[in-house]
Structure 1
Amino acid sequence: MYYYLIAPLGLKSPILTYGSETQCVKDELCSINVRNKEYLGIVLESTPAPTFECKILEKTHLRFLPHQKMLAEFIMQYYCVSLSLSYSLFTPFDESLCVTKDKGNEDSKVDIVPQVKLNLAQNDALHFLQTHTNPLLFGDTGSGKTEIYIHLIAQTLNENKNALFLMPEIALTPQIESRLKAVFGDMVGIWHSKITKAQKKKFLDKLHNGDIRVIAGARSAFFLPIRNLGLVIVDEEHDDAYKSQSAPHYNTRDLALYLGKQSEMKVVLGSATPSVSSYFYATKQKSLYRLKGQYFGSKKHIKILTSNQNTESTNGEESALLPLEMIEKIRQKLEKKEQAIVFLPTRAHYKMLVCQTCGSGVECAFCSVNMSLHLDKNALMCHYCHWSKAIPRACPQCGSENLSSFRIGTAQVANFLQRVFADSKIALFDRDNITTHKRLKDTLKAFNAGEIDILVGTQMLSKGHDYHNVNLAVVLGIDYVLKSADYRCNERALSLLYQIAGRAGRKYDGEVWIESANGAFLERFLGDYEDFLHFELSSRPKIYPPFMRLATLTFMDRSEKKALENLAKVRSLLQEYPLGQVEIVGDCKALLERLYDKYRFVLLVRSASTRELLGLLHYVRLQTENLCEIEIDPLNII
């Protein structure tokens, strides 16, 4: 009998010991029984026969590919998690699904020549991407980045390798799918969280036997068992959706860059609005290619109106939610049989319900956040934990019936526009309404077919969609993004504006109307995003990324006292640690002090030395037994 230390996958469990009648090798996957349930486990190392009776593991046909093992080790080290949690991200390779004939041999070579020819600028960009390590393609919206990607993919397939095209999930539209399939046919497979179990099984069968060679997917596609992977494209690299909001708090973009540095795989980042950090590093490493202009030569006409939006509704009485000039402009577009999109950063009807007597908002019972007003459901709803309650007639705090709703949302604007333009078809495009991938496809198909005149939505509107007949983009509420408690607020607002503006006038001249009280700031940079990047790098305090690396330690517990005690324990522990270049910035209540019925406190640390920062984080993790959740490179720091 042989004995091995096994890390169960997907469990918060210590390392366990199992017996085996045959020898196992390191990193081999096996089936183990834990508390009468079957789990996958990974073999860490052999161990002497224990003094207690062991359960017996079962061998499987599953294994992790070499690049998956390398990434799992990196995730464990960099994101400060257990190896079992790191490996649980990956879909293993199933050798039993492989056909006898290896699709990676000479017989599987193809010779694909994309029909669309690149222009001179695109050809220069293609050559640059081919000859640089981890390049960043900074290309204006509509400049033809996708065609460059297609040529890169074709080259990769012609070299008998496979390609992965990553996008934020909501950008996985029928348009990009059809563009890829028009060139690569049935070799294209789509992977994201909304596909069914049956679709996933069919996909994995085709991936294992080599029928799928171009994978287009959201961040989870990065963890698929793709053999002979030669190209990884991270489109819309600036998007926060690439960052996991639960442990391990990985960033798919950064994992791809690590893979590109440690292997011979080509990794390409792309965006019309690259993140400040990506632009900084690409410029420093001379791996940036700037692709200017629009493929179809269309122009954008931008108009900024002073913010005078009425965001309050008292006892059902409502005045115009949009400036009259905007309403008239929308009317003109509709009369020309053109379409419009309207953006707001807030879904539902209103963001909150507030008492005019005592000033209290109606908070969620489990989160320290005001609940959003959904008039169609006659309910207040928490957009974090999804707890809901009926709209009260009186203030829960003081009993006053003088309640007002504040900060309009998409549903209220859509209702208002439907009353103003009664003969027009208006649809909502937000997470409340686009709940499945099929609904996403159906809505976009109807919009591009002219069955919808105005699409009202949140940030989902900006995600790379190709709206054929949209020549007007209306932006409301952008000041809420500019005023948010985030050192990246300017970056987030400008990037969002550029992305939304890029949806209007794809082939013909378009108009972008923005309502804002910060017109001078916006006008300064709306003509050139690179000018904004230079400004941001020169004005952003040097205590933030990309100049410093940040990490947060979040203490959570249903008991506020217990959470504070855990914070105090770690604070005391750090007094004994040689900090070196690491700075303990301080601790405070989280911006959302209570979330999912747990109190939250945050300790912020930073350093110019990644090595020293990771040393401190691993020290805390090993010494405290999960007293806190560690996140390096957080997008939000409070």
Structure 2
Amino acid sequence: MYYYLIAPLGLKSPILTYGSETQCVKDELCSINVRNKECLGVVLESTPAPTFECKILEKTHLRFLPHQKMLAEFIMQYYCVSLSLSYSLFTPFDESLCVTKDKGNEDSKVDIVPQVKLNLAQNDALHFLQTHTNPLLFGDTGSGKTEIYIHLIAQTLNQHKNALFLMPEIALTPQIESRLKAVFGDMVGIWHSKITKAQKKKFLDKLHNGDIRVIAGARSAFFLPVMNLGLVIVDEEHDDAYKSQSVPHYNTRDLALYLGKQSEMKVVLGSATPSVSSYFYATKQKSLYRLKGQYFGSKKHIKILTSNQNTESTNGEESALLPLEMIEKIRQKLEKKEQVIVFLPTRAHYKMLVCQTCGSGVECAFCSVNMSLHLDKNALMCHYCHWSKAIPRACPQCGSENLNSFRIGTAQVANFLQRVFADSKIALFDRDNITTHKKLKDTLKAFNAGEIDILVGTQMLSKGHDYHNVNLAVVLGIDYVLKSADYRCNERALSLLYQIAGRAGRKYDGEVWIESANGAFLERFLGDYEDFLHFELSSRPKIYPPFMRLATLTFMDKSEKKALENLAKVRNLLQEYPLGQVEIVGDSKALLERLYDKYRFVLLVRSASTRELLGLLHYVRLQAENLCEIEIDPLNII
């Protein structure tokens, strides 16, 4: 009998000892029984025969690929989680499905040559990406980044390797799927959370057989068992969707960069609006390529209107939700049979319902956040825990019936526009309405076929779609992003505006109308995003990334007293720790003080030394793992 230490996947169980009648190898996957439940476990190492009776493991056909093992170790170390939790992110390779090993690679003897030829600037960019480690392609919208990606993929396949094309959200996949399949045909496979179990099984069968060699998908695609992976493209690298909001709090972009440094794989980042941090590091490492193209030249006409402070009472009395000048511009476009997109940062009807007498909002019973108004359902809904309740007739705090709702959302604007333009077809394009991959494809197909006149939506509108006949982009509510409690608020707002504006005038002249009280700031930088990046790097306080690395310790409990006690315990632990270059910034209530019926407090730490910061975080995990949730490189610090 052989004995091994096993890490159960996805469980908080400690390392366990199991017996085996045959020898196992390190990192092999086996089937084990934990508390009368079957699960997978990773073989860590052999161990002497224990003094107690232990369960017997069963061998499987599953294994992790070398680059998956390397990434799992890195996730454990950098994101301060157990190895078993780290491994649980990955889809293992199933040797029983691999009928003919590397079949796709062996059969691919004919060179793939994309029909679209690159221009001089694109060829220069392609050469730069080929000859630099972890390059960043900073290319304007319409500059031809996708064509460069396709040439990189073709070269990778011709080297008998496979390629992975990552996108921040599934909203990108219909367009990318058609572009890739036009060149690579059935070798392209699409992977994201919206495909069915049957589709996933079919995909994995083809992947194991080598039939799929170009994988396009959202961040979960990064954890697939792709044999002979030679290229990883992280498109729209600036997007927050690459960051996991649950433990482990990994960032797919950063994992890809680590993979590029530690292996021979080519990793390419791309964006029309790169993040400040990525731009900073790429410039420092001389791995930035600036690809300019027609963007805010003759094809884009920008107009900024003063913010329109409108509200609606729940009794149905309504003022114009858009400035009259903006309404007239939409009318002109519709009369010319041109299409319009309208962007708002808020879905549903209104962000919140507020009492005009006492100023109170209607809060969720389980989260310290105002509930959103959904008039179509006659309900208030929490967008965090999804608890809902009927719209109250009076303020829960003071009893006043003077309830108004502020900050318009997609549904409210769509309803308003439908009343103004009764003969026009208006559709919503947000997460409340685009709930399946089929709905996404159908809506985009209908819009490009001219069956929809006005598309009203949230960030999904900006995600790289080609709207053939859109010559007007309307942006509302951008000031809510600019005024948010986030050190990256300027970066997020400008990036959104560039992405939205890039959807108008893809083939002809386009207009972008923005409602904002921050016209001076927007006018200064809307013509040159690189100028904004320079400004932001010079003006952003040096206590924030990319100059310092941040981490948060979040304390959560149904009892506020217990959460505070846990915070105090960790505070005392840190007094015994040699901080070095690590600074304990302070603690406070979380911005969402209560979430999922738990009180939340946050302790912020920072350091210019990644090594010293990780040392402190691992010390906390070792001493007080069950007291707090650790997150390094958080997107939000309050």
Q: Judging changes above 3 Å, is the alpha-carbon distance between structure 1 residues 129 and 628 closer, same or farther for their aligned structure 2 residues? A: same
Number of residue pairs matched by the alignment: 638
1:219 is the counterpart of 2:219:
yes
1:3 Cα offset (Å):
1.1
Q: Distance in 1 between matches of 2:550 and 2:296?
A: 42
C-alpha displacement at 1:194, in angstroms?
A: 0.5
Question: C-alpha displacement at 1:625, in angstroms?
Answer: 2.9
Distance change >3 Å, CA 295–CA 119, structure 1 → 2: farther
Q: Does the aligned pair in 2 maintain the 1:296–1:507 contact within 8 Å?
A: no
Closer, same or farther: CA 125–402 of 1 in aligned 2, 3 Å: same
Aligned pairs for 1:252-331 within 5 A = 252-294=252-294, 299-313=299-313, 315-331=315-331
Q: Secondary structure at the match of 2:588?
A: strand
Distance 2:407 2:625 in 1: 43
Which whole-Å CA distance do the structure 2 matches of 1:101 and 1:340 have between them?
A: 50
- Structure 1 residues 148 and 576 mapped into 2: Cα distance closer, same or farther (>3 Å)? same
Structure 1 residue 297 displacement after superposition: 8.4
Deviation at 1:117, TM superposition (A): 0.6
Is the alpha carbon distance of 1:225 and 1:267 closer, same or farther for their aligned partners in structure 2, counting shifts above 3 Å? same
Match of 2:58 in 1: 58
Give distance in 1, aligned partners of 2:590 and 2:505: 41
Matched residue of 2:461: which SS?
helix
- Give the SS at the match of 2:104: coil
* 1:386-415 Cα distance to aligned partner (Å, 9 max, x none): 000011111111222111111111100000
- Asked whether the 8 Å contact 1:312–1:407 carries over to 2, the reply is no
Summarize deviations over 1:230-273 as a string: whole Å, max 9, x none.
00000000000000000100000000000000000000000000
8 Å Cα contact 1:581/1:607 also seen in 2: yes
For 1:53 and 1:101, the matched residues in 2 are separated by 40
Output the CA distance in 2 between the equivalents of 1:97 and 1:486: 47
Name which of structure 1's ranges 422-431 and 92-101 shifts more when overlaid on structure 2.
92-101
Following the alignment from structure 2 to structure 1, what is the Cα–Cα distance between the partners of residues 461 and 355?
A: 33
For residues 486-505 of structure 1, the aligned pairs below 5 Å read: 486-505=486-505
Whole-Å Cα distance in 2 between the matches of residues 270 and 615 of structure 1? 32
Deviation at 1:170, TM superposition (A): 3.0
Greater shift in the superposed pair: 306-315 or 41-50? 306-315
Q: Say which SS state the counterpart of residue 105 (structure 1) adopts.
A: helix
The 8 Å contact of residues 342 and 473 in structure 2, kept in 1 or not, is answered as yes
The equivalent of 1:210 in structure 2 is: 210
CA distance in 2, matches of 1:268, 1:230: 11
- On the 8 A contact 1:110/1:160 being kept in 2, the answer is no
The answer as to 2:158 corresponding to 1:186 is no
Name the SS for the 1:352 alignment partner: strand
Q: 1:519 to 1:296 in 2, by over 3 A?
A: closer
State the 1:309 CA deviation: 3.5
Map of 1:76 onto structure 2 = 76
Q: Take 1:424 and 1:170, find their aligned partners in 2: how far apart are those partners?
A: 28
Aligned-partner Cα distance in 2 for 1:513–1:531: 21
Task: Give the Cα–Cα distance (whole angstroms) in 1 for the partners of residues 544 and 400 of structure 2.
Answer: 45
Q: CA deviation at 1:99?
A: 1.5
Deviations 1:301-340 (A, max 9, x none): 0000111231343532111000011000000100111000
- Following superposition, the deviation at residue 348 of structure 1 comes to 1.1
Alignment deviations for residues 267-313 of structure 1 (CA, whole Å, 9 cap, x no partner): 00000000000000000011000011139986100000111231343
**C-alpha distance in 2, partners of 1:17/1:202?**
35
Percent of aligned pairs with the same amino acid: 98
Q: Are the counterparts in 2 of residues 142 and 296 from structure 1 also a CA contact under 8 Å? A: no
Secondary structure class of the residue paired with 1:60: strand
| CA–CA separation in structure 2 for the residues paired with 1:544 and 1:454 | 40
| 1:428-467 equivalence runs, <5 A | 428-467=428-467
Q: Is the 8 A contact 1:471 1:505 kept in 2?
A: yes
Give the corresponding residue for 1:349. Answer: 349
Asked whether the 8 Å contact 1:313–1:406 carries over to 2, the reply is no
CA deviation map 1:173-216 (0-9, x unaligned):
32210110000000000000000000000000000000000000
Classify the secondary structure of the residue corresponding to 2:527.
Answer: coil
Per the TM alignment, residue 107 of structure 1 is displaced from its structure 2 partner at its CA by: 3.8
Provide the residue aligned with 1:387 in structure 2. 387
Unaligned runs of 5+ in 2: none
Find the aligned partners of 2:577 and 2:232 in 1 and give their Cα distance: 40
Q: Which moved more, 1:10-19 or 1:335-344?
A: 10-19
Q: Which structure 2 residues correspond to residues 561-600 of structure 1 after superposition, within 5 A? A: 561-600=561-600
SS of equivalent to 1:250: coil
**Structure 1 position 171, deviation (Å):** 3.3
CA distance in structure 2 between the aligned counterparts of 1:4 and 1:569, rounded to whole angstroms: 35
Compute the displacement of 1:69 (Å). 0.2
| 1:61 alignment partner, SS class | strand
Do the aligned partners of residues 297 and 498 (structure 1) sit closer, same or farther apart at CA in structure 2, a change above 3 Å counting?
A: closer
Deviation at 1:104, TM superposition (A): 5.8
The question of whether the paired residues in 1 share the 8 Å contact of 2:310 and 2:321 is answered with yes
Q: Is the 8 A contact 2:549 2:610 kept in 1?
A: yes
CA distance in 2, matches of 1:609, 1:363: 40
Deviates more, 1:479-488 or 1:456-465: 456-465
Superposed, 1:75-224 pairs within 5 Å as 75-100=75-100, 102-103=102-103, 106-224=106-224
Distance 1:585 1:534, change over 3 A: same
With the length of structure 1 as denominator, give the TM-score of the two structures. Answer: 0.99
**Preserved CA contact (<8 Å) 2:75 2:81:** yes
CA distance in 2, matches of 1:297, 1:119: 20
Contact (CA 8 Å) 1:166, 1:216: kept in 2 or not? yes
Give the CA deviation at 1:490: 0.2
Which has the higher mean CA deviation after the structures are superposed, 338-347 or 287-296? 287-296
Separation of aligned partners in 1, 2:6 and 2:189: 34
Deviation for aligned residue 1:51? 2.1
Alignment pair present for 1:621 and 2:600 = no
Corresponding residue number in structure 1 for 2:235: 235
Q: Residues 110 and 157 of structure 1 are in contact (CA less than 8 Å); yes or no, is this contact kept in structure 2? A: no
Quote how far apart the aligned CAs of 1:101 are. 5.0
CA contact (8 A) 1:298 1:505 kept: no
Which region of structure 1 is more displaced relative to structure 2, 599-608 or 305-314?
305-314
Deviation at 1:105?
Answer: 5.3
Q: Is the 8 A contact 2:311 2:319 kept in 1?
A: no
Residue 424 (structure 2) aligns with:
424
Structure 1 residue 108 displacement after superposition:
2.8
Decide which moves more: 18-27 or 522-531: 18-27
- Residue 110 of structure 1 and its aligned partner are, at CA, apart by 3.3
Q: Give structure 1 stretches of 5+ with no counterpart.
A: none
Q: CA deviation at 1:424?
A: 0.2
Aligned residue for 1:48, secondary structure, equals coil
Taking a change above 3 Å as real, the CA distance of residues 340 and 178 of structure 1, as seen in their structure-2 partners, is: same
Note closer, same or farther for the CA distance 1:258–1:101 as it changes in structure 2 (3 Å cut).
closer
Q: Tell me the alpha carbon deviations over residues 104-139 of structure 1, each in whole angstroms, 9 at most, x when there is no partner.
A: 654433311000111111111111111111000000
The answer (yes or no) to whether the contact 2:362–2:370 under 8 Å persists in 1 is: yes
**CA deviation string 1:63-87 (max 9, x = no partner):** 0000000000000000000000000
Once the two structures are overlaid, the 10-residue window that deviates more, 402-411 or 375-384, is 402-411
Question: Which stretch of structure 1 is more off in the superposition, 4-13 or 491-500?
Answer: 4-13
C-alpha distance in structure 1 between counterparts of 2:296 and 2:191, whole Å? 30
Cα distance change, pair 105–388 in 1 and its aligned pair in 2 (3 A) = closer
Listed one character per residue, the Cα deviations across residues 359-388 of structure 1 (whole Å, up to 9, x for unaligned) are 111100100001011011000000100000
Partner Cα separation in structure 2 for residue 535 and residue 74 of structure 1: 34
Q: Contact 1:448 / 1:467 at 8 angstroms: preserved in 2?
A: yes
Contact 1:344 1:477 in 2 (8 A): yes
Query: In structure 2, the residue corresponding to 1:631 is in which secondary structure?
Result: strand
Q: Which moved more, 1:322-331 or 1:392-401?
A: 392-401
Distance 1:110 1:5 in 2: 47
Is the Cα–Cα contact under 8 Å of residues 141 and 502 in structure 1 kept in the other structure? Answer: yes
Asked whether the equivalents of residues 105 and 161 of structure 2 are also in contact (C-alpha less than 8 Å), the reply is: no
* Distance 1:377-1:25 versus aligned 2 partners, 3 A rule: same
Q: 1:551 to 1:296 in 2, by over 3 A?
A: closer
Distance 1:139 1:311, change over 3 A: farther
Counterparts of 1:261 and 1:205, CA distance in 2: 30
Q: Secondary structure at the match of 2:103?
A: coil
Post-superposition Cα deviations, 1:570-600, rounded to whole Å, max 9, x if no partner, equal: 0000000000000000000000000011110
TM-superposed CA distance for 1:433, in Å, is: 0.6
Flag the 1:137–1:292 CA change in 2: closer, same or farther, 3 A: same
Q: Structure 1 296/157 Cα, relative in aligned 2: closer, same or farther at 3 Å?
A: farther
CA pair 271-32 structure 1, distance change in 2 beyond 3 A: same
